[in-house]
Every structure is written in structure tokens, then in C-alpha cells.
Structure 1
Amino acid sequence: MQELLPYVDVNPDKPHDAVVVWLHGLGDSGNGFAPIVPELKLPTSMSVRFVFPHAPVRPVTINNGMPMRAWYDIKSLDFNQRADSQGVRESAQQVKQLIETEIEQGIDSKRVILAGFSQGGVIAYHLGLRFDQPLGGILALSTYLTEVPTLDDEASEANKSTPIFTAHGLYDEVIPCALGKTGADKLSELGYAVQWQDYPMQHNVCADEIQAISAWLQQRLA
């Protein structure tokens, strides 16, 4: 087994009974989203651990090969060939190990939420739809769906009914909102329980979105 990804964690005041694994975007780190936990204003009655892994450092082709934290290489601006398939699968396997560690320590898989923003959302989609135990939910923010042709063969029956919350900025200048909506619509066509929401923002998160995420997490984990 590979060494677990390094991560930042935010723990409740009492032993946790649920986990949110939240994956950052290109060039960021686990520290980037950790401050969102208090902003979610989850009730003190909930006992949720947040885990924010750091992506591996790798050269990114479209950034002149500059090494940075990335879940996969981006070799082209063409979204049909944007995500490096091998990198997506390798990162998904590393995140899978993190989740399996929580399950081995006694957390019910149905009380694990897999979340991701941008590149992290690509991994959340990829892994969540293929994970072999039922998850509590998939949270995909400002992202897009990859590896669609293989999904029919690789999708796990365990997560065919797992709730998916996906949100996007209408003015996203990095990943067009239409691309995010196309992925959500595709999953709906395949019978997944997708909740779509867009916001008047760019490639970021906003206060209304954070409030909606909080409500969704409470619904899933209360």
C-alpha cells in the first residue's frame, strides 16, 4: 500500500462519527479550504471530521511544466483531452486509501462525504461514482465530468443512488458553467440523484453556496 496522502484535518470537539474528504483545486493545497469549516456553521450536535488532502506536486504542461500541487496533469485547453487519465486514476486511488482508512477505523461508509473543487471535483466525481462501498454523498464544485465513456463499465452499483450536489459559477472563467451543467445533466440521464445549483460568481465559492452546502451536509449527516 502507498503511503497516505498528507492532509490538513479539522476535528470536532468530540469523537467523530462522520467524515468529509475535501479535495482542493490546481495549485492550491489542503490549507486552502480548511477555513471553510467554521463558515459552514454546522450544529454542535454534529460530530464531523474534515480532511483536506494535499495533492502531489507534479509538472503541469499548460503552465510551462511548472511543478505545483495537482491531482493530474493538464496537457491541453481542450476539455475533451484536458484531464490526464492516468493522473486522475492514480489520484483517485490515493484518495480511496484515505477513505478506506476512515472506514477501517469504524466510520460507516454512508457517513463519508467526498467533496472537491475544480480539479478536486474531477477526482470526487471519478472516485465517488466508482467507489465500491456506498458513500453519504458527492459534492462537486466548479468542476466537470471526465472519463464518461468508461463510466458505464466502471460505475459502482453501491453509489448509483448516492446524492450528488454540484454547483458552479455562472461567470466561471476557468471551467465554463455550461461544461459543469453538461456533466450534471449526463449523470441525471444515467439515473443519478443530482442536485444542480449555479451562482452569480466566477471560479470560486460564495456565501450563498456555502449556506447551501451546509444545509446539504446537515441533511446527509445529521
Structure 2
Amino acid sequence: MAYLPCVEIEPDQTANRSVIWLHGLGADGNDFTPIVPLLKAPAGAHVRFVFPHAPQLPVTINGGMRMPAWYDILSMSIERQVDSEQLRASARAVGDLIRREIERGVKEEHIIVAGFSQGGAVAYEAALSHPQRLAGLLALSTYLATHDSIQLSTANRQLPILIQHGSQDPVVPEALGQLAYNWLSDAGYQAEYQSFPMQHQVCQEQLVAINKWLQEVLA
């Protein structure tokens, strides 16, 4: 099977936990690798970090320029018109990576799916529709683009979900992060929402919160 190309950071011992982390539009799998040394796993958890590279796609809002993208964005309106089929195709590719982690010896309930911005929209689709229970979903500065079409998995109805957003985000307005949180809450999910005084980025205070969450869900 052909998998998405990835940057992988292995633990010192055989991996028994995995985090699959999706970058944002125009970036690549190297984007979040510098924060790995700042993230501490709980005792007994040996975490493999998997950072996939998005394919090169023409992006309408950028004049049709080809760039690393999980899907095409057709409009930057608050509704965020996107190519939903491309998004779902990317989510299926993430599902293949989840299954590969299982084949490599990591149980599905020990796998986290994380994503930033456009990658977060794919992470929502991939994790909430995955047929087996996962460890958690980390959604950073993102939005739930497929709320009107996603096929929710009963296995992940109790999935730990951490949503983080910047209160000054000019790229993905915080209102979109709050909309995702409200939609999930109304659907019965136990999501946690955190806001930070930042723009479209990651800050130190946020990393402290991510560390705390990882300690809980990877224990």
C-alpha cells in the first residue's frame, strides 16, 4: 500500500503509543517536529510521532497555485467553502496511517490524531469517523469543515477531544473553533475548549496545556 510520505520521530524504546500530526496549508511534515522534545510522555508510554506531508494541490484562494494542501479551499468566507471530497480522501489516507501504526504494534486506543488549521479539519474527519476507538483528538486553530456530512463513529463517541485556538487569529477566526466545540457538545461529545492570546500559531502556554492532556490520554 502507498502511504503518505511522513517525517517520523521514534522513541528510545519500541513504540507503544503514536501521535499522527497534520500540518497546515502550505507547510509540510517538518512544521511541528521542533516541539517534540518539549512534549513529555507519561511513564511507560513510548511515543512515535508521525508527521505526514500533504500532497501538492492547486488552491483556489491562492490563485490556483500548487502547494502542500490537504484539500482545496474555494472561499475564505466564514463558511469556509472547501472541496469536501478531497478532505475526505485525505482523512482516508490518515486512516491508512492509523492502520499502519496498529500493524506496527500500537493499539488503536493508544493513537492520537492531531492537526493544525487545515490539517485540523482533516483530523476532525479522520478521528470522528474512525471505526475503532482512538486515544484522542487534538484540534489546533481549526474548524469542523465537514459537520454537515461526516459519518460519526459510535466507537469514538467518548473520544477525548482538546480544541485550542488563538483569540487573535486572523486566518481562522476563533469563532470557527467555538462553532466546532459547540457542535460537538450538542452532539454529546465531551470536548474541552481552550483559548490563548495569540494569532495563528502555537505558544508556550499552549504547549504546557498539551503536555498535561497528553499525560492523561496516553497514560
The DSSP-based 3-state class of the residue aligned with 2:82 is coil
**Match for 1:171: what amino acid?**
Q
Structure 2 length as normaliser, TM-score? 0.97
CA distance in 1, matches of 2:175, 2:61: 22
Choose 95-104 or 37-46, whichever is displaced more: 37-46
Q: Which runs of 5+ in 2 are unaligned?
A: none
Q: Map Cα deviations across residues 123-154 of structure 1 (whole Å, 9 max, x no partner).
A: 01011110000000000000001221223xx1
Q: Does 1:167 align with 2:164?
A: yes
Structural mapping, 1:26-175, within 5 Å: 26-42=25-41, 45-151=44-150, 154-175=151-172
Q: What is the CA distance between 1:46 and its match in structure 2?
A: 2.8
The two structures have a TM-score, normalised by structure 1, of 0.95
User: 1:81 Cα shift?
Assistant: 4.5
| Greater per-residue helix proportion | 1
Q: Distance in 2 between matches of 1:95 and 1:201?
A: 28
1: CA distance, partners of 2:81 / 2:206:
26
Distance 2:62 2:175 in 1: 24
- Amino acid of the residue matched to residue 125 of structure 2? H
- 4+ runs deviating over 4 angstroms: none
Q: What whole-Å deviation, never above 9, does each CA across 1:162-211 have from its counterpart, x for those lacking one? A: 01000000000000001110111110111001010000000000001011
- Count of residues paired in the alignment: 219
CA distance in 2, matches of 1:79, 1:86: 20
Overall identity of the aligned pairs, in %: 50
